Amino acid sequence: DTGVSQNPRHKITKRGQNVTFRCDPISEHNRLYWYRQTLGQGPEFLTYFQNEAQLEKSRLLSDRFSAERPKGSFSTLEIQRTEQGDSAMYLCASSLGGTANEKLFFGSGTQLSVL
Amino acid sequence: AQKVTQAQTEISVVEKEDVTLDCVYETRDTTYYLFWYKQPPSGELVFLIRRNSFDEQNEISGRYSWNFQKSTSSFNFTITASQVVDSAVYFCALSDGSSNTGKLIFGQGTTLQVKP
């Protein structure tokens, strides 16, 4: 068990391009979360999955964002037609969930820079 | 609405000094959970502690201790005899006790720099 893995670590793209990030959670964890963190701020919740079902999406997640978790294993987060405001660290976390006090295990994040 | 405030943006101490990181929260829930996470330069947040709203006992884990006071809506974190390896960004977070998820509301974070 090597923890939560995120790829790529860094992504630089031009405005208007599409980008996709991948998260591999800890294998036995049924819940997977995406958060976004901008410079000098705490992480903000974007969405979460329980197994393959996406159960909640934040209003921060515009129509340009889509997340999937096929087969309840890894997850992808796609941003279409990127904007400069999308520049941020995208963090993935997983947990063996079911309660409000579940401990989250975070990956090191994908740093997105939109030029 | 739920909110977490960490008023200290940056703190700098010399090794072996004690340091307290403040956290104030707002919630209308009667059941909720509070957390502290550490974010080292590598980026991944590391869980430190969780507390439920019904347990106001202070907790000590090695050089770390936490003081939870519902009367002042605070959940402060103290590092005793700080070390250079404690340098990181520390986040306080709040979860909704009714949602049964790991959806957290994070504070802005406090950057701690421990100088040798």
The Cα–Cα gap between B46 and B37 comes to 5
Contacts of A63 by beta carbon, 8 Å cutoff, 6+ apart? none
Predicted pLDDT of residue B98: 66
Predicted pLDDT of residue B31: 87
Predicted pLDDT of residue B104: 93
Q: Is the pLDDT of residue A1 over 60?
A: no
In B, which residues are within 8 Å of A38 by CB distance?
none
B64 touches chain A (CB under 8 A): no
Between these two residues, A71 and A94, which has the higher pLDDT value? A94
Residue to mutate among B9, B101, B108, B110, with most A CBs inside 10 A, is B101
Residue position matching structure tokens 């037609």: A81
pLDDT in tens, A18-54: 999 999 999 989 999 999 999 999 999 999 999 999 9
Contact B46, B39 (CB under 8 A): yes
Predicted pLDDT of residue A102: 83
Q: Which residue of A has its CA nearest to B106?
A: A42
B96 touches chain A (CB under 8 A): yes
Q: Which of A33, A42, A48 sits opposite B106 (nearest CB)?
A: A42
Give the tokens for residue A97.
Answer: 């969930």
For every residue of B74-107, DSSP letters joined together read EEEEEESS--GGG-EEEEEEEEETTT-S--EEE-
Predicted pLDDT of residue B100: 75
Predicted pLDDT of residue A100: 63
**Pairing between strand B19-21 and B74-79?**
antiparallel
Spans of chain B, pLDDT less than 70: 97-99
For every residue of A5-30, DSSP letters joined together read EEE-SEEEE-TT--EEEEEE--TT--
- Are B103 and A107 in contact (CB < 8 Å)? no
Q: Give residues 28 to 57 of B whose Cβ lies within 8 Å of A.
A: 31-33, 37, 42-47, 50, 52
Alpha carbon of residue A78 to chain centroid: 9
**Pairing between strand A44-50 and A53-57?**
antiparallel
SS3 for A35?
strand
The Cα–Cα gap between A77 and A88 comes to 13
Q: Is the pLDDT of residue A89 over 90?
A: yes
Predicted pLDDT of residue B97: 63
pLDDT in tens, A63-78: 999 999 998 899 999 9
Predicted pLDDT of residue A94: 95
B62 touches chain A (CB under 8 A): no
Give the tokens for residue B84.
Answer: 């250079």
